[in-house]
Amino acid sequence: MDQAQIELVRRFNRTVTERVGVLHDHYLGRDRPIGEARLLWEIGEHGTDVRRLRERLGLDSGYVSRLLRSLETAGLVTVEAQHDDRRVRTVRLTAEGRSERGQLDAGSDELAGSLLEPLNSAQRARLVAAMDEVERLLTAATVTLDEVDPGHPDARHCLEAYFAELSERFPTGFDPARSLLPDAGELRPPRGLFLVARLHGEPVGCAGLKLPPDAPAEIKRMWVAPGARRLGLGRRFLAELETRAAAHGRRTLRLDTNKALTPAVGLYRSSGFEEVAAFNDEPYAHHWFEKRVAVTSSPE
């Protein structure tokens, strides 16, 4: 890896942690210890059960219990057993707790403001744009692609969202019954595979690959959640599927798409796909693409 890049990243880490750290202590580290503050924040407006809280923050059960006791005696939260399972306890903010949480929120705003405050408006705009870029790329780096069964809850979640989006974006709506839908078996080994992208454990995208024995590999149902767009995930799916198709000895990858999905069409073209004549009669397709892929040395 490039040493100059490493050096720059280190400088960035140093400056950012120093500057943000100092301001963090100033605006947020005043009265309440950060353990309690984090908890207060994570409880949220509508309350949660203790178990989930513990899981999200990765804390010891005894420790959380003690923190909650302390918040309770300070009158910021109420803890009570759930009536359908009296082992599980639910935490809720009191009015006072809500106000304290609001103060934390305001402190975060002030922190952010004080980073921008000394700059003129052109510099602010540049800083914010660069922060956005850093944030997106760091987030992109934490997304994982995992092969799952198309029946997996995460896969189904993505597929439902995908169909919902199609019926919204296609001017004619989208009726699954009219489309050439692969049955689930076609996207499951050995006849295919299905990938789910996850960010912090939550599914944020999917893509399927059909591997028919007598025809080119075919990409189906590629979708990225709106909140996870602009992370280069589409391109990453394509690269991953290409590698996997090659690993299965396929030399051609193809797909069809609807003209309403403009950004997708652009993605395919810029990823080396070339438009070809219709290779199926999918009623919702306007474009058909194909790409030659390099065969890897050791197909599985």
Partner DNA sequence: TCCATTCTCTGACTCTAGTCAGAGAAATGC
Partner DNA sequence: GCATTTCTCTGACTAGAGTCAGAGAATGGA
- Please report, as ranges, the residues that interact with DNA according to CB under 7 A: 33-36, 49-51, 54, 59-66, 68-69, 79, 84-89
Interface with its own copies: number of residues (CB under 8 A): 47
Identify the bridge partners of residue 219 per DSSP, sorted by sequence position.
Answer: 209
Q: With CB under 8 A as the contact rule, which of the stretches 83-91, 117-125, 149-157, 267-275 interacts with its own copies? A: 117-125
Nearer to its own copies, 78 or 139 (CB): 139
From residue 119 to residue 138, the character string flagging contacts with its own copies as x (rule: CB under 8 A) and all else as - is: xx--xx-xxxxxxxxxx-xx
Nearer to its own copies, 28 or 217 (CB): 28
Q: Report d(CA 240, CA 45) in Å as an integer.
A: 40
- Report what 20 binds from its own copies, DNA, none; CB cut-off 5-8 Å by kind: its own copies
Residues in the chain: 300
Location of structure tokens 């999200």: 56
Nearer to its own copies, 109 or 168 (CB): 109
- Report what 62 binds from DNA, its own copies, none; CB cut-off 5-8 Å by kind: DNA
- Report what 50 binds from DNA, its own copies, none; CB cut-off 5-8 Å by kind: DNA
- Closest approach of its own copies to the CB of residue 136, in Å: 9
Task: Decide if residue 19 touches its own copies (CB under 8 A).
Answer: yes
Task: Decide if residue 109 touches its own copies (CB under 8 A).
Answer: yes
Contacts 24+ apart (CB under 8 A), 256-263: 256/280, 256/282, 256/285, 256/287, 256/288, 256/289, 257/285, 257/286, 257/287, 257/289, 258/166, 258/169, 258/170, 258/284, 258/285, 258/286, 258/287, 259/286, 259/287, 260/169, 260/170, 260/171, 261/169, 263/234
Based on its alpha-carbon atoms, the radius of gyration of the chain, rounded to whole angstroms, reads 25
- Closest approach of its own copies to the CB of residue 39, in Å: 16
Sign of CA dihedral 165, 169, 170, 172: positive
Q: Report d(CA 2, CA 43) in Å as an integer.
A: 43
- Report what 137 binds from its own copies, DNA, none; CB cut-off 5-8 Å by kind: its own copies
* From candidates 44, 113, 266, 299, binder to its own copies by CB under 8 A: 113
- Report what 69 binds from its own copies, DNA, none; CB cut-off 5-8 Å by kind: DNA
Q: Under a CB-based contact definition with an 8 Å cutoff, are residues 196 and 152 in contact?
A: yes
* From candidates 108, 252, 271, 296, binder to its own copies by CB under 8 A: 108
Report the DSSP pairing between strands 274-276 and 252-257: unpaired
**DSSP conformation class of 74:** T
Q: Angle 46-132-12 (CA atoms, 0-180°, nearest 5)?
A: 110
Report the DSSP pairing between strands 252-257 and 217-224: parallel
Task: Decide if residue 232 touches its own copies (CB under 8 A).
Answer: yes
* From candidates 59, 104, 116, 260, binder to its own copies by CB under 8 A: 116
- Report what 243 binds from its own copies, DNA, none; CB cut-off 5-8 Å by kind: none
Q: Report d(CA 16, CA 77) in Å as an integer.
A: 34
- Closest approach of its own copies to the CB of residue 262, in Å: 22
> Where on the chain is the footprint of its own copies (CB under 8 A)?
1-2, 5-13, 15-17, 19-20, 24, 108-109, 111-113, 115-120, 123-124, 126-135, 137-142, 232
